[in-house]
Amino acid sequence: MAEFKADFLLNMNSVLPKLAHLKQLFFIVLVLLFSMKVSAHEPTEPDSLELVNAKVATEHKAADHTKHEDKVNIQEVAFDHVLDAHSWHLWGDHEHPVSFPLPVILKTDKGLVFFSSGEFHHDTHGKVVVEKNGERFVNYKEDIYYASESENAEGEFVEFAVNEKGKNVVTNKAPLDFSITKNAAQLIFSAIILILLFTSMASAYKKTGVTSAPKGKQSFLEPFVVFVRDEIAKSNIGPKYEKYVPYLLTVFFLILINNVFGLIPISANVTGNIAFTFVLSVITLIVTNVSANKAYWGHIFLPPAPKALYPILIPIEIVGIFTKPFALMIRLFANMTAGHIIVISLVGLIFVFQTLWVSPVAVAFALFIDILEVLVAVLQAYIFTLLTALFIGSAMVEHHHEDSHEEAGAH
């Protein structure tokens, strides 16, 4: 396996000048692709009389809406920015959005269904029905359901019921949703960037060797890599740390790049999505428990305590296996989401008060919180990696800390 890797890297050396051109070409194509597909939504001209009547009716409703919407709903704007979506909305309000559609992939009982989310025509209130293969789908608040047969009073093709907590929930059935949503597309993009960065760095090391000084992006990334390897992995995991350095590096750079992307306004909020952090913490859980040695399981199922306490201690220890990754998940998710909501709310204050005089204060506060958020982005990546290393290290600790107990007793 090592020879295969070395051969691959040596061959990559001969291909390196072409690789640089290829990378430039790839970025140009990516930019072109995104710019071509950006579409602005414009109202279409109706041509028959009943359509004209319908348009007048909707215009009246729209006018009522705009009067109603003088009171801007900041909560809705904030959650729109922070949550996932089936199309990538860049800028613009609800009447004239600038966005591009993403593919919708659904698994129904009849098989897989593919279509572009542009067929929903920017509707997230369940009013537009897309029909494929005889099945009708509707998009309500960015969840895709099977559309009801007929629409309700507000033109929506979904049915509601009040659940036991008193909240309105949708009762339509939903297909399994495997779409490339905004977060999925952003993850693929970050992954491509990370792969390009690090494979080029590795091939540069192969070319110039480890003894000469690094240059270019190597010199920017190398301190981070060495930091993760020495300060985080070696000091927390102990002697067998090299096996875990790839995973720790992956976690650190993935969280870091997605945190930083989440701070850019047009971009998607991946680390603030609890499913993403859930997956990372599940992988941490698996890595910790698979690499655990007998002393670790011994401490959980036979803790060093009087036997009378076992009925209390053993459940607590078992729950403790799960709460540690759970805390990792919640910490990353809540830090990122809360930060974004604060910035959006501060800028939204300008729209709530609707005067220009609020803007110096609001923008100054928002700038301060944004700088703090950059610190939090790096810090949360570091904390996640550090705690993962700590958990792995504590699962692999050798049994001789019993001796240190005795030494402490002898003092």
Minimum Å gap between C-beta 132 and other proteins is 34
Measured from the CB atom, the residue of 195 and 327 that comes closer to other proteins is 327
Minimum Å gap between C-beta 383 and other proteins is 5
Query: Can you give 264-325 as a three-state secondary structure string?
Result: CCCCCCCCCCHHHHHHHHHHHHHHHHHCCCHHHHHHHHCCCCCHHHHHHHHHHHHHHHHHHH
Give the DSSP letter of residue 305: S
Span of 235-243, 253-261, 312-320, 327-335 interacting with other proteins by CB under 8 A? 327-335
386 binding other proteins? (CB under 8 A): yes
Measured from the CB atom, the residue of 126 and 339 that comes closer to other proteins is 339
Q: Side chain identity at 27, as an amino acid letter?
A: F
Span of 21-29, 52-60, 218-226, 323-331 interacting with other proteins by CB under 8 A? 323-331
Inter-axis angle of helices 359-395 and 310-353, nearest 10: 160
374 binding other proteins? (CB under 8 A): no
Minimum Å gap between C-beta 102 and other proteins is 26
In 10 A of CB 169, how many CB atoms? 9
Give the DSSP letter of residue 215: -
194 binding other proteins? (CB under 8 A): no
133 phi/psi in degrees, rounded to 5: 60, 30
User: Judged by CB under 8 A, which of 243, 379, 398, 405 binds other proteins?
Assistant: 379
Encoded tokens for 390: 């700590």
d(CA 50, CA 72): 33
Q: Side chain identity at 234, as an amino acid letter?
A: K
335 binding other proteins? (CB under 8 A): yes
d(CA 65, CA 71): 10
Q: Side chain identity at 190, as an amino acid letter?
A: S
User: Judged by CB under 8 A, which of 269, 380, 385, 388 binds other proteins?
Assistant: 380
The β-bridge relationship of strands 103-108 and 111-116 is antiparallel
Give the DSSP letter of residue 110: T
Minimum Å gap between C-beta 54 and other proteins is 39
User: Judged by CB under 8 A, which of 330, 352, 363, 397 binds other proteins?
Assistant: 330
Span of 20-28, 205-213, 290-298, 329-337 interacting with other proteins by CB under 8 A? 329-337
In 10 A of CB 231, how many CB atoms? 13
Measured from the CB atom, the residue of 82 and 187 that comes closer to other proteins is 82
Measured from the CB atom, the residue of 55 and 331 that comes closer to other proteins is 331
Tokens 């279509």 found at: 115
Minimum Å gap between C-beta 310 and other proteins is 28
User: Judged by CB under 8 A, which of 98, 295, 349, 383 binds other proteins?
Assistant: 383
Are 106 and 178 contacting, i.e. CB atoms less than 8 angstroms apart?
yes
Beta carbons within 8 Å of 209's beta carbon, 6+ residues apart: none
Span of 196-204, 216-224, 288-296, 380-388 interacting with other proteins by CB under 8 A? 380-388
User: Judged by CB under 8 A, which of 123, 331, 352, 365 binds other proteins?
Assistant: 331
Task: From 138, 145, 132, select the one nearest 173 (Cα to Cα).
Answer: 145
72 binding other proteins? (CB under 8 A): no
Q: Side chain identity at 260, as an amino acid letter?
A: V
Residues that bind other proteins (CB under 8 A): 327, 330-331, 333-335, 338, 379-380, 383, 386
